[in-house]
Chain A
Amino acid sequence: MEAVQEIDGRAIPFGQKNVDTDLIIPAKWLKTISREGLGEGAFEAVRAEEGNIFDQPEYMGAPILIAGDNFGCGSSREHAAWALLDMGVKAVIAPSFSDIFSGNAFKNGILTVVLPQEQIDRLMEVAQTDPVSIDLENQTVTTPFQDRFTFDIDPFRKDCLLKGLDEVGLTLARNASIDTYEARQKDAMPWYAKGTGLAA
């Protein structure tokens, strides 16, 4: 995972509430066996409309997306995060996110920034003409007009994002604890440990 520190640039003022992952990337794009190239299918239904925001030249490759409440609801498809990355989006700012999407975004180095609706409204206005800056270390979103909004982030996630840590690698280092847990379970609750009975 690439380290994330500051994200500066144009922000797409999308603003829609309850953006589901079917809207971010429709099912027909899920047939890939790769993580690459999904930007082409991102927001396909929205982009079918003439004059849609995603295809306006000033927002092409914009690193920030601004949306409404409950962004990323619905299907668990991580393809939604991969599609955003492929579009160039590195951060999404919204009043709230679905649990599964925010986890998927984090694991791909996409920052999810939660701000109250009135601050989102202000950023939507700024984004029409000017860039927006996100500083992860200081947990702030700023604009060229002296706006300065602070956001909360889970300290563990912040640390992983700042350092670009590989979570699988981190957990593999806890191997001894997992061994201990497994031994205890095998003894106390063997019915869980057997599974399909097909061992390696």
Chain B
Amino acid sequence: MSDRARTLYEKIWDAHVVERREDGTCLIFIDRHLVHEVTSPQAFEALRLAGRKLRRPELTLAVPDHNLPTTARLDENGNRLPIADPQSAQQLAALEANVAEFGVRYFGATAREQGIVHVVGPEQGFSLPGATIVCGDSHTAAHGGVGALAFGIGTSEVEHVMATQTLLLKQSKTMEVRVEGTLNPGVTAKDLILHIVGTIGTAGGTGYVIEYRGKVFEEMSVEGRLTVCNMSIEGGARAGLVAPDDKTFAYLKGRHFSPKGEDWERAVEYWRTLKTDEGATFDKSVTINAGDVQPTVTWGTSPEDVVPIGGIVPAPESFPDPSKQNAARKSLDYMGLEPGQRMDEVEIENIFIGSCTNSRIEDLREAAAILKGRKKADNVKWAIVVPGSGLVKEQAEAEGLDRIFTEAGLEWREPGCSACLGMNPDKVPAGERCASTSNRNFVGRQGPGARTHLVSPAMAAAAAVTGKLTDVRDLVS
């Protein structure tokens, strides 16, 4: 190890180099591998065909999330209900067979620990500070919220990690997103990351690993940090990081797979060294004034298409870049919006509270605080709350949040990815709008023709109450 000042990313990288090649490519050791049913079948199949095994099965954790329906999974006698879609059922069956054959720890469809991989990892203490974490899913960036170097990989890389517990990688450039000042009341971690993505653009972080720095992140809860890091990929960065601190350690202590006893003490001692050194430099620096961040919504079909809730739909001509003007015209056509239209007058027919971005207990509390004692508007036809895991669901029910949601006219569902990408039956109908706490507003993402507005859990709850995009601060006195 060198004595020069290093960034947090460089420290984690250096600690995982197995071999460094002359051209700078490194063989990097992978500490944790999360597996779900969609991006793993072809990897297991390739291992099988080559007669290979998992090198370190204890470093892999599997859980199904993308395909599972969020309706009841057991009948009244406790028997498992079949999945109606034959392809979804086949993908789930393939995962079950593969984890049994290759000896991988598995939280199955009806286990109380089941949930979205990116909620389950930190919640189970599987995701640890300073670890390298991968998963065949781009929102793996989320785990950076506990100070891990975590990034999404493709299925060929899933196979590579299974067989070798390593990846061949080129070191990324470093980018600092520094947020100065404090967030205004009613502004959440989700609003902040939408604002950041709007500022740097969806390609702004390509080739970089982002470290989020400043008092805002020190004061932010671990769950808020997970939300911010989760959407690093929407800014083009494969990974995002927040330095681990006492909040991180308190969050992880005593969790299922967290280190215990002397291991815990030694781990915390090491984790305290995981921060960017004084004098270390970043390849790129972006500064954001926290006071500028308002409750934020998207108007278009790219996560960078953001505007404060008090704003208007922009005119395509207002963008300097001609190709962005074109993209904006197409987006507005798809979204059924007119330039100059006020965002807080856009009517909403569907509400989705969930996804790996916003389905943890704090997200549900934030939404419930707005919905308590209120009803959803009549024009809201479909409104679902999908907890991120079985444990989140239990906790929410213990706090009575489920009753707040159902009394307000929202449906309380089983855990999974759900309407974030509509691989299961939860889809937004064509031409209808959804105020969604998920992470992508791409064309067709929530279903063919679906129109997505990305928002925070509090803003989704506010939209449910008024039937249109609404400044949540108007509902809090």
Q: Which residues on A are within 8 Å of B, measured CB to CB? A: 17-18, 20, 22-23, 26-28, 30-35, 45, 68-70, 73-78, 81, 96, 98-100, 103-104, 107-108, 154-156, 167-168, 171-172, 174, 177-178, 180-182, 185, 189-192, 194-200
The 8 A CB mask of B303-330 against A (1 = contact, 0 = none) is: 0000000000000000000011001000
Contact at A195–B56, with CB atoms within 8 Å? yes
Known contacts A17-B323, A96-B203, A168-B160; is-contact A195 B58 (Cβ 8 Å): yes
Contact at B263–A23, with CB atoms within 8 Å? no
Q: Which residues on B are within 8 Å of A, measured CB to CB? A: 18-19, 21, 23, 25, 27, 29, 31-32, 38-39, 41-42, 45-46, 50, 52-61, 66-67, 85, 87-88, 90-91, 94, 103-105, 126, 128, 130-131, 136-138, 140, 152-157, 159-160, 163-166, 168, 170, 172, 202-203, 206-207, 233, 236, 238, 257, 259, 263-264, 266-267, 270, 302, 323-324, 327, 421-423, 440, 442-445, 448
Partner of B90, one of A33, A168, A197: A33
Give Cα A22–Cα B443 distance, bound, in whole angstroms.
8
Contact at A30–B138, with CB atoms within 8 Å? no
Q: Which residues of B contact A196 (CB under 8 A)?
A: 58-61, 105, 126, 257
Give Cα A154–Cα B168 distance, bound, in whole angstroms.
13
Contact at A74–B138, with CB atoms within 8 Å? yes
Contact at A23–B42, with CB atoms within 8 Å? no
Contact at B444–A45, with CB atoms within 8 Å? yes
A26 → chain B, closest Cβ, in Å? 6
Contact at B57–A98, with CB atoms within 8 Å? no
Q: Which residues of B contact A174 (CB under 8 A)?
A: 18-19, 27, 164, 166
Contact at A195–B88, with CB atoms within 8 Å? no
Give Cα A78–Cα B140 distance, bound, in whole angstroms.
15
Contact at A20–B206, with CB atoms within 8 Å? no
Q: Which residues of B contact A45 (CB under 8 A)?
A: 443-444, 448
Partner of B156, one of A17, A167, A191: A167
Which residue in chain B gives the minimum CB-CB distance to A101? Answer: B154
Sorted nearest first, the 10 A-B pairs with minimum C-beta distance are A191-B259, A107-B156, A78-B154, A104-B154, A31-B87, A76-B152, A33-B41, A195-B58, A196-B105, A70-B203
Which residue in chain A gives the minimum CB-CB distance to B90? Answer: A33
- A168-B160, A182-B29, A191-B259 are known; give 20 further A-B pairs, CB within 8 A: A17-B324, A23-B444, A30-B39, A31-B91, A33-B42, A45-B443, A76-B153, A98-B236, A99-B206, A100-B152, A104-B155, A104-B156, A107-B156, A156-B21, A181-B29, A192-B130, A195-B31, A195-B60, A196-B257, A199-B57
Known contacts A17-B327, A70-B236, A199-B58; is-contact A77 B39 (Cβ 8 Å): yes
CB<8 Å pairs between A and B, sample of 11: A31-B423, A76-B138, A77-B154, A78-B156, A99-B207, A154-B25, A177-B27, A182-B29, A189-B267, A192-B128, A194-B263
Q: Which residues of A contact B164 (CB under 8 A)?
A: 168, 171-172, 174, 178
Give Cα A107–Cα B423 distance, bound, in whole angstroms.
25
Which residue in chain A gives the minimum CB-CB distance to B41? Answer: A33
Contact at A103–B18, with CB atoms within 8 Å? no
Give Cα A69–Cα B327 distance, bound, in whole angstroms.
12
Contact at A107–B157, with CB atoms within 8 Å? yes
Partner of B154, one of A27, A76, A192: A76
Q: Which residues of B contact A182 (CB under 8 A)?
A: 29, 56, 165
Contact at A68–B54, with CB atoms within 8 Å? no
Which residue in chain A gives the minimum CB-CB distance to B169? Answer: A103
Q: Which residues of A contact B257 (CB under 8 A)?
A: 194-197
Give Cα A176–Cα B153 distance, bound, in whole angstroms.
25
Contact at A33–B23, with CB atoms within 8 Å? no
Contact at A22–B126, with CB atoms within 8 Å? no
B125 → chain A, closest Cβ, in Å? 10
Q: Which residues of A contact B21 (CB under 8 A)?
A: 156
Q: Which residues of A contact B324 (CB under 8 A)?
A: 17
Contact at A31–B154, with CB atoms within 8 Å? no
Q: Which residues of A contact B160 (CB under 8 A)?
A: 167-168, 171
